[in-house]
Amino acid sequence: MIRITNRMMYNNTLVNAFRNNQGLLAAQEQISSGKRINRPSDDPAGMMEVLEFRSSIGKSERYVRVMDNAESFLNTADSTIGSVHDQLKSAKEQALSQVGGMATAETRKTAATLIDTMIEQMISTGNTRVGSRYIFAGQRSELPAIDSNGNYIGSGKDLRAEITNDVVIPISVRASEFLSADMNPAVSTSTTIASLNGGAGAPAGSFNITDRSGTTGAVTINLGDTIANVILAVAAAGTNITASVSSDGTALVLTDSTSSPLAPITVQSNTTSQGLGIDGTRNLSVFTGDALDPDIVSATLIADLYAGDGVTLNDVVLMNGGASSTVSFTGDTTVGDMITSINTIGGAMTDTVTAAIDSTGRKLTITSGNANTVAFAGEAGSGNTAEMLGVGGGRNVIPILQKFSAALKANDNNGIWAALGLLDTNMETVNSVRGSIGARANQVINIRSSETEAALNNTKLKSFIEDADYIEAASELAMLQTAYQATLKSSAAIVQTSLLNFL
């Protein structure tokens, strides 16, 4: 026989009542907060999953925002380039009407005025802005892409954005792709310091560098030095620092081999070190300097052009005053060599053609020796050498229009003929640039819809884990309430009865 005492019955009542209340409290909390997980201990694994989902959803939403911005850039680019194409069409119509018998010097002069206006418009198109940013200037988007002479002065790097995980795409196109070429030379060991910083160069001089062990040495740069000389000068300073060219060919890199560092790398700041882009203090073992932006000089290697992609050397046709000659660049290694090749052939023509580096140091120009004719250049075959040098058609829309206007003013029929042919190549290039922008816009649209869908899916999955099932919680609550009432009622009945009632 088991003894049952009064205290056992009292305790039992209390324990059961409390247990019921605990359940009621939990159900109530779920209903009022709407969540099944109200603290990490409610479901630790679930909580971690919820956090992961939240991050993913946040990321997707952010990418969608970036893509909205990217799309506005791409759309603007698309429509402005469309207007360039339309303008080229009317330029071509002018060319057709002014070539041949019906035109006179007077009509041509009038046409030239129209073309000049067109050039102004092209320049302003090239300087289109979205917000405060010049969208065709590459990464130097705070300054115009095209100068008042119609030359490209923007950056050689595209404006880019990350539109989804690890996918970084250009969100615009540089004006150097469709208005005026930019030969964009990469920095290599043979680049001269005089050509750096857009031709401003880096002045000769001396500056101190201190490595991370605290050793200081002097680096001396002389006039006429190349990057190779700079690298040797840094090595000669006797510290643990060595210089090299960055992998993307834009800047100098200082690497410190000190194993137990005591202090940051310090490069004394003066015009020489600033010109080389390496002045400053950094507590890192590898120090990448500022972009060096070299201009083209005659010593520039052909292989360094177009950020190190180089230019394929196909034959180019020179056209001046009705005569034409073919130039071959076989064996040429520097820009200077190419200029010489052109001048050799061009100099032998009836109306001479002379090539030179233009005033911006970004491309070549060709000039006619005869004041009444305009020199043009085109591709001899299916290559694009003339275009890439800045003297041919294709992407050189503004230079071609400028030459067209000059030919009209000079009443040079041969020139107008040449321009007519080259305008076609301009339109082709503009079309293809427009096509690539369209393709990018499509990519953005596709990725945007998949990110939106991913966000939606993740939200569903997150809610599945995190949210309370109202129906379930409510019925749980009702059930517990019933149980609670039953407990209280039965306890009341049992606890009150004792022998004393009957004595």
Residues 6 or more apart from 493 whose CB is under 8 A from it? none
- The tokens describing 22, both together, are 């605990």
* Least gap, CB of 462 to another protein (angstroms): 11
Among 152, 207, 287, 404, binds another protein (CB under 8 A): 287
The interface mask with another protein, positions 111-150, x = CB under 8 A, is: --------------------xxx---xxxxxx--------
DSSP 3-state of 420: helix
* Least gap, CB of 3 to another protein (angstroms): 5
Stretch that binds another protein, among 156-164, 182-190, 343-351, 386-394 (CB under 8 A): 156-164
**Residue 3 lies near another protein (rule: CB under 8 A):** yes
Q: What span, in angstroms and rounded, lies between the C-alpha atoms of 208 and 211?
A: 10
**Residue 283 lies near another protein (rule: CB under 8 A):** yes
* Least gap, CB of 453 to another protein (angstroms): 20
Q: Which of 182, 161, 489, 236 is nearest to 360 (CA)?
A: 182
Stretch that binds another protein, among 160-168, 180-188, 375-383, 472-480 (CB under 8 A): 160-168
CB closer to another protein out of 50 and 389: 50
* Least gap, CB of 459 to another protein (angstroms): 13
Residues 6 or more apart from 363 whose CB is under 8 A from it? 151, 152, 180, 181, 182, 183, 296, 357, 389, 390, 391
**Residue 259 lies near another protein (rule: CB under 8 A):** yes
Among 25, 96, 167, 168, binds another protein (CB under 8 A): 168
* Burial category of 4 from C-beta neighbours within 10 Å (exposed 0-12, middle 13-18, buried 19 and up): exposed
Taking residue 242's Cβ as centre, other Cβ atoms within 10 Å add up to: 15
**Residue 207 lies near another protein (rule: CB under 8 A):** no
CB closer to another protein out of 332 and 466: 466
- The tokens describing 325, both together, are 């000659």
**Residue 494 lies near another protein (rule: CB under 8 A):** no
* Least gap, CB of 192 to another protein (angstroms): 20
Residues 6 or more apart from 306 whose CB is under 8 A from it? 183, 184, 388
CB closer to another protein out of 78 and 290: 290
Relative to beta strand 376-379, strand 364-368 is: unpaired
* Least gap, CB of 208 to another protein (angstroms): 16
Residues 6 or more apart from 233 whose CB is under 8 A from it? 219, 220, 221, 225
* Least gap, CB of 35 to another protein (angstroms): 6
Q: Which of residues 214-253 bind another protein (CB under 8 A)?
A: 250-251
**Residue 493 lies near another protein (rule: CB under 8 A):** no
CB closer to another protein out of 145 and 420: 145
Q: Which of residues 424-483 bind another protein (CB under 8 A)?
A: 466
Q: Which of residues 390-429 bind another protein (CB under 8 A)?
A: none
- Cα-based angle 186, 192, 193 (whole degrees, multiple of 5): 100
- The tokens describing 332, both together, are 């040429």
- The tokens describing 54, both together, are 């939240």
CB closer to another protein out of 135 and 427: 135
